[in-house]
Amino acid sequence: MTRLFWLFARWPLVALHALGWLGGWAVWLASPTYRRRWAEHTRLAGLRGRERWASVGAAGQQVAELPRLWFGPPVPVGWEGAAHIEAALAQRRGVLFLTPHLGCFEITPRAYAERFGRHGAPITVLYRPSRHAALDALLRPARHGAGLAAAPTTLAGVRQLMQALRRGEAVGLLPDQVPPEGLGVWAPFFGRPAYTMTLAARLAQQPGVQVLLAWGERLPWGRGYVVHVQPWAQVMHEPLAADAVQAAAQINRAMEALIGRCPRQYLWGYARYKAPRPLAPGAA
């Protein structure tokens, strides 16, 4: 597996995205469960036509590009809204990035680390270690680097995130990821109850934290990516509620707004409405 990852890491993005597009359709055709989930989720979101069908290939591209991002040479990245990050860091405020499973969500922390993290404001991202020891050993170095650190989904990992915010650094989360049982609340997501993490709201409510919504757009023909950044107030026009259920619903609506900007690049096949798994010993 390691050799395969390093082989694909040398491929140009345009070739990886072409391979990923084929792979996305192959999975869609081969898995009735995946097709049913994709069809139900796109129906709930009101997605139709070309945007809906394009999401099938885009899901495969999201997987195929990972070896290049993790182990290959740098890729072209543009920015829209970087001034919001610069303003928050200038005030020595902690920055919380909320990013859905949209576009290339792996590029956002890496692009931040390259532009800001190397110069004194690193970013820490929350991740769940792989259950496969070999895969986890392969990916662990890829999730750490200059200006970039990873915090596991444990109590120690949550403390690591809070400490980073208190130091005026950045933290990144995928708030549309289903948390373990006991670590979330049921809140609407495209009109259907989805088990939603409360950690994002807890971090956002820490004193002085600037909440920014971000996502990485995948450009066609392997031309790279654009990281889009917007302040919470610019998207939601209301402060985050103190109540956990209300805050989770607000965050879900914010994620819906981002997804609406480029629905063809959202991971509609993700099991967003599944029942939460039991909390593992030592988890956060």
What band does 132 get if pLDDT is binned at 50, 70 and 90? low
Phi, psi at residue 56, to the nearest 5°?
-65, -50
Q: At 152, is the pLDDT very low, low, confident or very high (cuts 50, 70, 90)?
A: confident
Residue 53 above 90 pLDDT?
A: yes
pLDDT confidence of residue 238: 93
Q: Smallest Cα–Cα separation from 3: which of 107, 131, 138, 133?
A: 138
Lowest mean pLDDT among 40-54, 58-72, 125-139, 236-250: 125-139
Backbone angles phi, psi at 189, to 5 degrees: -140, 110
The answer, yes or no, to whether residue 128 has pLDDT greater than 80, is no
**Span 104-117, mean pLDDT?**
93
pTM value is: 0.92
In the three-class reduction of DSSP (H, G, I as helix; E, B as strand; rest coil), residue 258 is classed as helix
195: exposed, middle or buried (Cβ count in 10 Å: 0-12, 13-18, 19+): buried
How crowded is residue 45: how many other Cβ atoms within 10 Å of its Cβ? 20
Q: Name the average pLDDT for the chain.
A: 91
pLDDT of residue 241: 94
Per-residue confidence (pLDDT) for residue 1, from 0 to 100: 60
| C-alpha dist (Å) from residue 105 to 101, 113, 182, 188, 278 | 6, 14, 26, 22, 26
What is residue 273's three-state secondary structure?
coil
Contact of 267 with 238, CB cutoff 8 Å: no
If you average pLDDT over residues 152-165, what whole number do you get? 89
Among 97-101, 156-160, 162-166, 212-216, which stretch is predicted with the lowest mean pLDDT? 156-160
